[in-house]
Amino acid sequence: MTRRLLWIAVALVIWAMLPFVVPRNIADLLVFTGIYTVAGLGIGLLLGHCGIVNLAQATFYGLGAYASAYCTVMMGLPSAVGFVVGAAISMTLAYVIGRPILRLTGYFLALGTLALSAIASALFFEWDWLTGGTLGIGGIPKIDIFGFVLDRPSRYYFFVWIVAFACMAAARNLVDSRTGLMLRAMRDSNTAAASLSIDLQGLRTRVFVVCALFGSLAGSLFAHHVSFVSTQSFTVDRSISFLLIPVIGGATSIPGIVAGAVFVTFLPEFLSNLGDIHQILFGLALVAVVVMLPDGLMGALNRIRARYAARGNRNAD
Amino acid sequence: MSMSSVARLAGTVVLVATCAFAAKAQTSGEPVKIGAIVSVTGAGAGLGIPERNGMLLAEKTINAKGGINGRPIRLIIEDDASNPDTALSKANELLFGQKVIGLLGPSLTASTVAVGGVTHANKIPQIAFTGIGPAVEKERKCVAHVLPPQKLNAQALLEYAKSIKAAKVGVLHDAGYGNVVMAEIRPIAESYGVKLVAVEKFEVGATDTTTQAAKVKAAQPDAVFIIATSATPFRNVKQLQMTQPVVAAIGSSSYEYVNAMGPGADNVVIPEFVVGEDPLPHQKAFVDLYKQTYNSTPKNFETAGWDAVHIMAQAIGKAGPNATPQAVCDAMRGPYSGVLANYDFAADDMTGIPLSSYVFSKLVGGKYTRIPFRIAQ
C-alpha cells in the first residue's frame, strides 16, 4: 500500500512539473491529450463495456464546442454557461436519438452512429447562421478563474487534466458499480442479460448519454483552447480518430484511454518530421498496433506484467 | 557531343558554380528563421503544395541575392495536414520552440484563425495564405493576408457578368468556400444589375451535381457562376449542353481541377491574378524563374507563397537585424507591390488588394489565355 502511494505521489509530481519542463508545443500536445482523453472515455465505455461502436462522438464534441463559442462570443455569457448548455444539448440529443438507434446491434448500429455524424457534419456546414459555417466562430475567450486567465498551454493543462481525471473517476465509478456489472453482462450475452431482467435498451441509452456528456465537455475544452471553431474540426474523420483512442489503448481500461490519446496526439506530430509520407506511416503504425496488439497497448502491458509475475512465481517455487 | 554543346555545358557549369559561390559569399552569420505552416497533406494539399513551392523558390532567390542585410533566411516549413488543431501545435513549436521571427501560412481559414490567436496575442507577424475570415480577424493587426477577401472575389465575378451584359445569372456553389462567396454576392448583385435567377448549392466533394445544374439550366440564365473547389459542376454543366458563358471563382483555377474538368473547362472565364501562359509584365520574371526551376507553370498559390516570403523578408530588413517581432509587425504594415497583386497591409482587411488587380483568363484546350477585360482603378 505504501509502495502504491509512493508511485501515485511520484506520478503526481511528474504530472505537476511536466508543463514547466517541456517546450510549449509539447505542453500544447499534452493539453490535446487531455481533451482527447475526455472524448475517448465515452467511446471506451461504449466499446469496452457495451460492445457498441460509436462513430458519432464528433457530433457531441462539435455541439459542446459550438455551445461554448456561441454562448461566450455571441451572447457574452461566462464560459461555464457554455459548458452546461453544450452538455445539456448533447445529452438530450443523445437520449432522443439513442432511444431508437440503440435498438440496432453490431454493424448496423455502427452505421447508424456514422450516419448521425455525417448528418451533424452537414448541418454544421449548412446552419451557418448558428455555426458560422466555413468561416466558423472566432475570438472565443480563454477561461478565467477568479481573474487567473488560462491563456497559455502550461496553465490550461492543469484545468484540462483536472476535468479529465474527474471524468476518469466518474467512469471508474460507473464501471465498478452494479451498472458496470450489468453492462458487462450485456456485452457478453444480450440474451443472458435480458433473462436477468436487465433493461438493455435503457442501459445502452444511459451509457450513450454519458458518452455524449464526455464528448461535449471535450468540445467545450477544445473551443476555449483553440479560441476558434469551424466545421473542419467536427467531421466524420474526427469521429474515427476518437474511436481509435480506445481501440489502440485498450477499450476496457481507463489508463488505456490515456495511452490511446497519447498515441493519436503525439505520434502524428513526431511522424510529421519524416516528410510528406507521415500520414501513410501513421496508417501503418495503426495497422501494426491493431494486428500485433489486439487488446490494445494496455492489454499488451498487462500480458507482459502477467508473464513477469508468472516467472517470479516459478522462481519462488 | 558537338563543340558548341560542350561549350554551352561548360558555360552552364561555370554560371551555376559562380552563383553558388556568390550566394555563399554574399550571406553570412546566423540565419533569420521564418516559420511556415501549409497544408501539404489532407483536403488543403491542392493549396499547400504550390504555396510551399513558391516559398522555397523565394528563399533560394533571396539568399542568392544576399539574404536580409547579408544574413541568409531559413524557412522552417511544417505541414498541418489540413487540420486546425495540428496547425496550432505546429505554430506553438515554431514560435516558442524554434523561435522564428515571423510566421507564413496556414493555407486554410480555420487553421489561420486558430494560429492567429497565438500570433496576435504575442504580437508576432503572420502572413496568411487566405483571405480575411471571421470578424475577429479584423482586430488582428499582425496577421496580414496575401489572398483577397471573399467579398472581392464576389465583386470580380459580378464585374465580369456586368461586362458581358448578363442580367440573369444562375449560380452553382458548394457548401464550403462557395457558400462564403455566395453570401457576399447576394447583397451586392442588384447594384451590378444582376438578378440571381437560380442559386443551387451542393455538398463539398460531391461527385455529381447534375440535378442542381439542371435546375440552373431550367431558369434560363444569361451566364452561370460556378463557385467551388471541384471539377464536378463544370463537367455536369457541359454534359447538360448548357451554352451560357460560365464564370468560375478563383478556387477552381488550379491545373489539377482544370485537368479533371475535361471538355467542361472550355471557355470558362476565371477572375484571378496570375496567368502563367501570358503573365503581366511585372509577373514575367517570377513566372520564367518558376518554370525554369519546377518545369511547370505557376498559378495564384505559388505566387502567394513567393510574395509572402518577400513581404516578410522586406519587413525584417526594414525593422533591422535585432528587431523584435512587434517591430517587424509594424514594419510590415504598409503598401507592397507584389507579383500577385499590389497590397496595402495598413488597410482594414489586412490585405488592401484593389479590385483592379484581378486579371481575367479564359480556358481553351486546358490552357489559360488572358483576356483583355480588366476592372478600372
Task: Tell me: do B128 and B188 sit in the same domain.
Answer: no
CA distance B148 to A13: 50
Cell 453570401 locates to B183
Written as nine digits, the cell of B279 is: 503573365
> Is residue B260 scored above 50 in pLDDT?
yes
Q: Are residues B7 and B137 in the same domain?
A: yes
| pTM as predicted | 0.82
Say yes or no: A25 contacts chain B, CB-CB below 8 A.
Answer: yes
Domain locations in chain A as residue ranges: 25-234
Q: What is the pLDDT of residue A280?
A: 87
Picking from B138, B79, B140, B141, the residue whose alpha carbon sits closest to that of residue B108 is B79
pLDDT score, position B7 = 41
Cell, residue A54: 460509436
Whole-number pLDDT of residue B132: 86
Q: For residue B110, give the chain A residue with the closest CA.
A: A230
Which pLDDT band, with edges at 50, 70 and 90, does B27 fall under?
low
- Of the candidates B89, B113, B121, the beta carbon closest to that of A138 is on B113
Q: Is the separation of the CB atoms in A249 and A43 below 8 Å?
A: no
My answer on whether B185 and B293 are in the same domain is no
Residues 6+ apart with CB under 8 A from B32: B67, B68, B71, B72, B73, B74, B101, B313, B316
B243 domain residue, yes or no: yes
Asked if B354 and B340 count as a contact pair (C-beta separation under 8 A), the reply is no
Residue B4's pLDDT band (boundaries 50, 70, 90)?
very low
Report the alpha-carbon distance of residue A151 to residue A43 in Å, rounded: 29
Q: How far is B295 from chain A (nearest CA, A)?
A: 21
Q: Which residues, 6 or more positions from A51, have their beta carbon under 8 angstroms from its beta carbon?
A: A186, A187
Asked if B314 and B246 sit in the same domain, the reply is no
In a domain, B376, yes or no: no
B117 at interface of A, judged by CB pairs closer than 8 A: yes
User: Residue B189 is part of which domain span?
Assistant: 150-277+357-370
pLDDT tens digit string along A211-266? 999 999 999 999 999 888 988 889 888 999 999 999 999 988 999 999 999 999 99
For chain B, what is the domain count?
2
Query: Shortest CB distance from A153 goes to which of B41, B92, B110?
Result: B92
Is the confidence at residue A3, as pLDDT, over 90? no
- How many pairs of residues across A and B have Cβ atoms under 8 Å apart? 114
Q: How far apart are the first and last CA of chain B?
A: 55
Q: Does B228 contact chain A (CB < 8 Å)?
A: no
* Residue B333: pLDDT over 60: yes
**Among candidates B34, B75, B71, which has minimal Cα distance to B52?**
B75
* Better-scored residue on pLDDT, B105 or B10: B105
Q: What is the pLDDT of residue A317?
A: 66
Is B83 a domain residue?
yes
Round to whole Å and give the CA distance between B311 and B308.
Answer: 5
**Distance between CA atoms of residues B114 and B88, nearest Å:** 6
Indicate yes or no: CB of A28 within 8 angstroms of CB of B90.
no
The ipTM value here is 0.76
Structural Rg of chain B based on CA atoms = 22
- Residue A128 touches chain B, beta carbons under 8 Å: yes
- Scanning the structure block, which residue is given the C-alpha cell 466518474? A170
Report the alpha-carbon distance of residue A136 to residue A43 in Å, rounded: 26
Do the Cβ atoms of B134 and A138 come within 8 Å? Answer: yes
Measure the N-to-C terminal CA separation of chain A; round to a whole number of Å. 25
| Same domain flag for B127 and B137 | yes
CATH of the domain at B351: 3.40.50.2300
For residues B299 and B238, membership in a common domain is answered with: no
Whether B16 is covered by a domain: the verdict is: yes
pLDDT the model gives residue A1: 62
Does residue B180 sit at the A interface (CB-CB below 8 Å)? yes
When pLDDT is cut at 50, 70 and 90, the band that residue B66 belongs to is: very high
Taking the mean position of all CA atoms in its chain, how far away is CA B288? 18
- Mutation to test the B interface, candidates A272, A277, A282, most B Cβ within 10 Å: A272
Asked if residue B375 belongs to a domain, the reply is no
When pLDDT is averaged across residues B16-27 and rounded to a whole number, the result is 46
β-bridge pairing B143-145 and B126-128: parallel
Strand partners, B145: B128
Q: Do B110 and A233 touch (CB under 8 A)?
A: yes
B193 and B116 belong to one structural domain: no
Q: Is B14 exposed, middle or buried (0-12, 13-18, 19+ CB in 10 A)?
A: exposed
**Interacting residues of B40 by C-beta distance below 8 A, sequence separation 6+:** A276, B48, B49, B52, B79, B81
Are A203 and A180 in contact by the 8 Å Cβ rule? The answer is no
Q: What is the mean pLDDT of residues B61-85?
A: 91
Dihedral sign, CA of A113, A133, B131, B296? Answer: positive
Q: Which helix (H) or strand (E) holds A150?
A: none
Q: Give the span between the Cα atoms of A155 and A143, in whole angstroms.
A: 10
Interface check B229 vs A, CB under 8 A? no
Please tell me which of the candidates B97, B175, B203 has its beta carbon nearest to residue A25. B97
Between B200 and A133, where is the model more confident?
A: B200
Q: Kindly identify which residue of chain A lies nearest to residue B139, measuring between CA atoms.
A: A139
- Give me the amino acid identity at B320: G
Q: Does the residue B161 lie in any domain?
A: yes
CB contact under 8 A, A269 and B86: yes
Of the pLDDT bands very low, low, confident and very high (cuts 50, 70, 90), residue B26 is low
Residue B377 lies in a domain: no
Chain A residues with CB inside 8 Å of B116's CB? 138
Among positive and negative, which fits the CA dihedral A107, A111, A112, A114?
positive
Q: Does residue B140 sit in the same domain as residue B160?
A: no
All three cell numbers of B174: 458548394
What is the helix (H) or strand (E) element at residue B213, kind and residue range? helix B210-218
Mean per-residue pLDDT, B35-59: 91
**In which band, very low, low, confident or very high, does the pLDDT at B369 lie, cut at 50, 70 and 90?**
very high
Chain B nearest-CA distance from A226, in A, is 6
Q: Which three cell numbers stand for residue B119?
A: 500570433
User: Do B138 and B160 lie in a common domain?
Assistant: no
To probe the interface with B, which of A130, A135, A155 has the most B CB atoms within 10 Å?
Answer: A135
The cell numbers describing B362, all together, are 479564359
Name residue, grid cell 460531391: B206
The pLDDT tens digits for B156-175 are 999 999 999 999 999 999 87
Contact check, Cβ <8 Å, A128/B79: no
Helix/strand/coil for B80: coil
Is A269 close to B89, i.e. CB distance below 8 A? yes
Q: Which residues contact residue A265 at a Cβ distance below 8 angstroms, ignoring those fewer than 6 apart?
A: A29, A32, A33, A36
* Whole-number Å distance between alpha carbons of A51 and A39: 17
Q: Is B9's pLDDT higher than 80? A: no
Residue B359, SS3 per DSSP: strand
Say how far apart CA A233 and CA A211 lie, in whole Å: 19
Q: What b/e string do you get for B149-188 counting C-beta neighbours within 10 Å, with b at 16 or more?
A: bbbbbbbbbbbbbeeeebebbbbbbbbbbbbbbbbbbeee
Question: What is the pairing mode between strands B223-227 and B246-248?
Answer: parallel
Yes or no: say if B35 and B126 are a contact pair by the CB < 8 Å rule: no
| Position A110, amino acid | A
Q: Select from B42, B121, B179 the Cβ nearest to the Cβ of A134.
A: B179
The two beta strands, B359-364 and B367-370, are antiparallel
Number of H helices, E strands in chain A: 14, 4
CA atoms within 13 A on the CB side of B74: 13
Q: Which of A165, A169, A188 is nearest to A177 (CA)?
A: A169
* A176 close contact with B: CB closer than 8 A: no
Residues B351 and B242 in one domain: no
Determine contact: B198 vs chain A, CB below 8 A.
no
Closest CB to A29 among B89, B96, B179:
B89
* Shortest alpha-carbon distance between residue B9 and chain A (Å): 34
For testing the chain A interface, which of B86, B89, B115, B130 should be mutated: the one with the most A CBs within 10 Å? B89
Q: Which of residues 63-92 of A touch B (CB under 8 A)?
A: none
Q: What is the CA radius of gyration of chain A?
A: 20
How far is B7 from B10, CA to CA, in rounded Å?
Answer: 5
Instruction: Mark whether B87 and B23 lie in a shared domain.
Output: yes
The answer to whether residues B89 and B192 belong to one domain is no
Which amino acid belongs to residue A168?
M
User: Is the CB of A28 less than 8 angstroms away from the CB of B40?
Assistant: no
CB contact under 8 A, A233 and B82: no
**Residues A226, B85: C-beta atoms closer than 8 Å:** yes
User: Is-contact B237 B172, C-beta < 8 A?
Assistant: yes
